[in-house]
Amino acid sequence: MKLPPDVHFDFAVLLTLLTILTGIGWLIDVLWLARKRRNLIGGKEKPGWLIDFSRSFFPVIVAVLVLRSFVAEPFRIPSGSMIPTLLVGDFILVNKFAYGLRDPVFHNEFLKGDRPKRGDIVVFRWPNDPSVDFIKRIVGLPGDRIAYRDKVLYINGEAQPQTADGVYTAPKLPGGTAYRLREDMPDHVHHIIVNPEEPARDFEMVVPEKEYFAMGDNRDGSFDSRGWGTVPEHNLVGRAFFVWMSWDGARMRPNFSRIGTSIR
């Protein structure tokens, strides 16, 4: 039987398999072996290592699977596509029930939740390779006409106001600096950076039903829906909400100023 293209072996699948295997061992012990041991004189016979492992670790593995799959999952930010909101080295938590609960293997929604709102920072499985997780900001909802012209975002024909808010300095940027701007979308305000040394990447499309248009806050340094298309609802993983740890690679130490930061 051929598996769906978005099913791949990852930590969630490993946890699921371990839960099933240790659960079988735990159940065998509860229903049969434990009773057999109680009937022995003295009850001193010990279970085999496999049953003993299952008895000890089944509750732990179940707890980790439930928390990671249905409550919150940690992620690390590997690139600068979400600067200035998220930095390389940030470790974040993602709300796994914000957009409904999905099984950890086939990713089918079994408990309906909210849908993403404009401005949400979302982790999703990249449509071109579902084994890779991306994190971007949702700027377009199903049915929206999204345009990006001269580095200004348009939603249904309306330019989203941008207000200058200083500069952002980063050594790897051409020229070394980028403009920091406040972008006012309907019901959401956030910051973006725009690199004056990079050419504009004009784009326009209507977002299909049950899909979303995602962009990085680092508008000239993000590989996003402008390059590979929209995000299907089925690929949603969760909403980023908290920085629990941040590592400053240049100084080789934690960035304490970012720990505990809420994400919006």
Catalytic residue, from 54, 69, 81, 225: name it. 81
Write the CA distances from 10 to 16, 21, 131, 137, 245, integer angstroms.
Answer: 10, 17, 8, 24, 23
pLDDT at residue number 9: 84
Query: Residue 208 and residue 210: Cα distance in Å, rounded?
Result: 6
CB atoms closer than 10 angstroms to residue 118? 18
Among 69-83, 147-161, 170-184, 188-202, the range scoring the smallest mean pLDDT is 170-184
pLDDT digits (tens, 9 = 90+) for 104-159: 999 999 999 999 999 999 999 999 999 999 999 999 999 999 999 999 999 999 99
Indicate the residue type of 179.
Y
pLDDT at 4 over 70: no
pLDDT at 160 over 60: yes
pLDDT digits (tens, 9 = 90+) for 50-63: 888 998 999 999 99
Specify the DSSP class assigned to residue 239. Answer: E
**Homologous superfamily of 74-254 in CATH?**
Umud Fragment, subunit A (2.10.109.10)
Catalytic residue, from 54, 69, 96, 136: name it. 136
pLDDT at residue number 174: 62
What are the boundaries of each domain within the chain? 11-70, 74-254
Give 67's contacts (C-beta < 8 A, 6+ positions apart). none
State the pLDDT confidence band at 45, using cuts at 50, 70 and 90.
Answer: low
Q: With a threshold of 0.85, does the pTM exceed it?
A: yes
Mean pLDDT across the chain? 92
More reliable by pLDDT, 5 or 111: 111
Pairing of β 152-155 and β 158-159:
antiparallel
Q: Is 81 a catalytic site residue? A: yes
Q: Is 44 a catalytic site residue? A: no
Report the largest interatomic distance among the alpha carbons of the chain, rounded to a whole angstrom.
84
